[in-house]
Structure 1
Amino acid sequence: LYNILKDNKIDILHTHSSKTGVLGRVIGTFAKVPRVIHTSHGYPFNNYQKLVIYGCYFFIERFAGMFCDKMVTVNSEDADFANKKLKIPKNKVAYIPNGATPLEVEPNRDSLASKSEITIGSMSRFWQQKNMIKSVEAAIEACKVDSRLKFVFVGDGEDLSICQKMVNDSNLQAKISFPGWSSDRDRWLKSFDVFILFSLWEGLPLGILEAMAHGLPIIASDIKGNRELVNSANGYLVSPNDIDGLKNILIKLFDNKADLISKGKESLKKVRDEYSMNKFNKNYKNLYRELTK
C-alpha cells in the first residue's frame, strides 16, 4: 500500500472499516499523502465486548485518529464521541450520514387498511449484533396473541438454525418464515408492511434507510444510529433487551393500521428531506473540496 500511494502520487486517501482504516491512515500519513480521510461506520468497540477487548480497540482507534485530516462519522453521537473521547479536534470531525434512494413510484401503502394480515419483515444477518434471536422470540410471543401478524426474516448466519428451531418448536411455521439470503432487497421491502431491526449496536443502518425509502414504518432498538432515523413520527423505538416491550408494540400493530400508514409516509418524507443520495454525494463533494483548497 505504501508503494502504491507513493508511486501513484495519491492526493486523497479515504479509508473505511476498522482494520483497513487503521492501517490505511497510518501508512497514508507515512507515505505523505496530502490528505487522509477516514469514515467510521460504527466504532469497532461496543458494550457487549469484554472490557480488555473494548479497551484495546478503543486505544487503537484513538491512536489511528492522530493520522487523519478528517474523521467522518455516520451518526451524530459518534461524532461527539470522536471529539470528547477519542480526542479528535472538532475541526477534524465531520458528520455525514448515509443516504438512500426513494422509489421513483411512491408505494401505495394506503392498501394496508384493507389487509387481513400484517407482514412484519427484516433483512439481516443472523448474528449477535443484529439480535435476531430476541427478535424471533418476540415474534413468537406476538403471534400467540394475534394471529393476524406474519413475520418474514430474510437473511442467513450463525444464529439462523437457532431461530428456525424456536419457530418449529412453537408450531408457528405458517406465521414466521425464513426465506434465506437474498440480494433482491426491493422485492422483499415491497412485500413488507412494517420493517423491524432490533440490533444491539449500529453505525447508521442502511437496512432501516432502505426500508424508509420504500415508505415503511420502522420498529427499531433504541440505540445510537437507529434513534437518529426513527422517532414516534415514523416508527417505534424499544430497548434492545426489552422483549416484552417489543411484543407489546407488535400486538398493537393490526389495530393501528391508520397510524402505520401515516408513519410509513413520514419515513419516505424523512429520506427525501434528510437522507437522499443527492445530499449524501453533495456532502462528500464539499468535504473533498474543503480538503483540497
Structure 2
Amino acid sequence: MATSLRIVHCFRAPVGGVFRHVRDLAVAQAAAGHQVGFICDSTTGGALEDRYFDAIAGSLALGVTRMPIGRAIGPGDIAAGWRTYRLVKQLRPDVLHGHGAKGGALARIFGSALRVSRFRVARLYSPHGGVLHFDPATVKGKALFALERLMDRMSDRFLFVSEFERRTFAQKIGGPKAPSEVIYNGLGPAEFDPVPPAPDAADFLYIGEMRALKGTDIFIDALDRASTATGRPLTAVMVGSGEVETYAARIERLGLGERIRMLPPMPAREAFALARLVVVPSRAEAMPYIVLEALAAGKPMIAAAVGGIPEIFGPTSPALVAPDVEAVAAAMARAIRDEAAHAALMPARDDLRGRFGVETMAARVEAAYRLALAR
C-alpha cells in the first residue's frame, strides 16, 4: 500500500476555476488517505466561496490558512511570504503544490528554503493560465517571464491543465527544464447528470467573472446583434461577480435592461437551469471548468476557440467561434433558430466522462507527486 502524503496547496484567490480545481483535488486526495491543507488569500471570495470552504473543511486535516496575498507583486508579499514560510515549516509537507503565478512562487521558493534545511519536499507548479496571458513584449510581461525562468530551477515538476497551456509556456517563457505533463481537469460522477432548463428559462446564459478577458462585453453586444438578426428579442441571464456595474451600464445603454438579468455568483448547476444555451465568449482561457461542467450537464454551448477549449470539443467543431462580437452573434442566431441541430454538435458525454473524470485527474496527480519525490 502506498504511503500517505502530507500535501499543501498554495494559491492566491479562492475563486473561479483554480479554486474549483484545488477543491476537487483536495477532496479526492483526502479520500485516498492523504493529509491536505490550503494556503490562500483572505481578501477575495464571498458568501459562495465561504460555503465551499465549509463543505470541504472536514476533509482538510492540515487546515486552511488565509492571509492577504495581492494580485500584483508588492510590499505585502514580504509579510505573506514570511507567514507562509513559518507555516509550511510547521506543517512539514511532503508536497507543496502551487497553483497560479503567486501560488507557484510561494510553493517553489519556500519549498526550496525547506530543502536547504534538509526537509524532503516535492515542489510542483500548475500555471492555470495566469501569467501566460501577459504579452512578452511589455515591460511587465518581460519581468514576470524572467521570474518564471528563475523559478524553473526551483521546480520538481510542472502540471499543465491543457496542451495549449504547456505550448504557450514553452513559447513565451521557454522550457520548462523540469519534467512536465498535461493532466486535464476532472468532474465528479454526479456532474454528468443532465440539468434541464426551467420552464421560464432565458435563451442564453453567461456565467463567470465579469471582465474584458472573459468577453463579457462580447456577450452583451452579441445578444443585441443576434436579436436584430433573428427578428426577436432574445433574453439572457448573466451570473457572476467582477465589474458588474460597468456591464450593467452597458446593458442599459443598449436598451437591454428588460431582457438581461444579472445575478450574483451561484453553483454552476443552479445557473444552468436558468437558460437553454450557454455562451463562453472568452478572449483567453487555459482549460475552463465551466465548459466541462456545462457539457457534462447536457447544455448546448457556443464557446470561443481559445486556450484549451478546442481540446474539449475537437479543433474543427462548428460550436467553436472567434472571440469577437460578429462571430458570437452569428453563432447565437444560428443556435437559437435550430436548438436541436446545435445540440447535436456537442461532444459525446461518455467520451467526456472518460477523459475528464475526477478519479483520473486525482490518480495522475498523485503519480506525479510520487515521481517528483523520487526525483
1:10 positional shift: 2.5
1:256 positional shift: 2.3
1:163 is aligned to 247
1:117 positional shift: 8.2
- Asked whether 1:16 is paired with 2:104, we answer no
User: Residue deviations 1:44-91, cap 9 Å, x none?
Assistant: 1425687111111111112111101001111112223444642223x6
1:244 positional shift: 0.9
1:200 positional shift: 1.7
2: CA distance between counterparts of 1:258 and 1:170? 30
1:87 is aligned to 175
Q: SS state of the match for residue 60, structure 1?
A: helix
Counterparts of 1:34-73 in structure 2 under 5 Å? 34-47=121-134, 51-73=138-160
Gaps of 5+ in 1: none
Q: SS state of the match for residue 153, structure 1?
A: strand
2: CA distance between counterparts of 1:118 and 1:194? 8
- 1:258 aligns with one of 337, 340, 346: 340
2:229 is aligned to 145
User: Residue deviations 1:27-57, cap 9 Å, x none?
Assistant: 2112114311111111414256871111111
1:201 is aligned to 284
Counterpart amino acid of residue 23 in structure 1: L
Gaps of 5+ in 2: 1-83
Higher relative contact order (CA closer than 8 Å, sequence separation 6+): 1
Q: SS state of the match for residue 125, structure 1?
A: coil
2: CA distance between counterparts of 1:116 and 1:235? 28
- Asked whether 1:286 is paired with 2:367, we answer yes
Measured at CA, do residues 8 and 257 of structure 1 come closer, stay the same or move farther in structure 2, by a change above 3 Å?
Answer: closer
Does the CA-based 8 Å contact 1:138-1:247 persist in structure 2? Answer: yes
Q: SS state of the match for residue 280, structure 1?
A: helix
1: CA distance between counterparts of 2:254 and 2:100? 39
Q: TM-score, normalised by structure 2?
A: 0.68
1:275 is aligned to 356
1:139 positional shift: 0.9
User: Residue deviations 1:151-190, cap 9 Å, x none?
Assistant: 11111221x2233233323333333221x21323211113
1:16 positional shift: 1.4
1:252 positional shift: 1.0
Percent sequence identity is 20
Does the CA-based 8 Å contact 1:190-1:214 persist in structure 2? Answer: no
2: CA distance between counterparts of 1:45 and 1:104? 29
- Asked whether 1:248 is paired with 2:354, we answer no
Counterpart amino acid of residue 75 in structure 1: S
Count of paired positions: 285
1:149 positional shift: 3.2
Counterparts of 1:92-241 in structure 2 under 5 Å? 92-103=179-190, 106-107=193-194, 119-146=203-230, 147=232, 149-158=234-243, 160-178=244-262, 180-231=263-314, 236-240=319-323
Does the CA-based 8 Å contact 1:42-1:203 persist in structure 2? Answer: yes
Q: SS state of the match for residue 37, structure 1?
A: strand
Measured at CA, do residues 156 and 14 of structure 1 come closer, stay the same or move farther in structure 2, by a change above 3 Å?
Answer: closer
Q: TM-score, normalised by structure 1?
A: 0.85
Q: SS state of the match for residue 23, structure 1?
A: helix
1: CA distance between counterparts of 2:157 and 2:85? 20
Q: SS state of the match for residue 149, structure 1?
A: coil
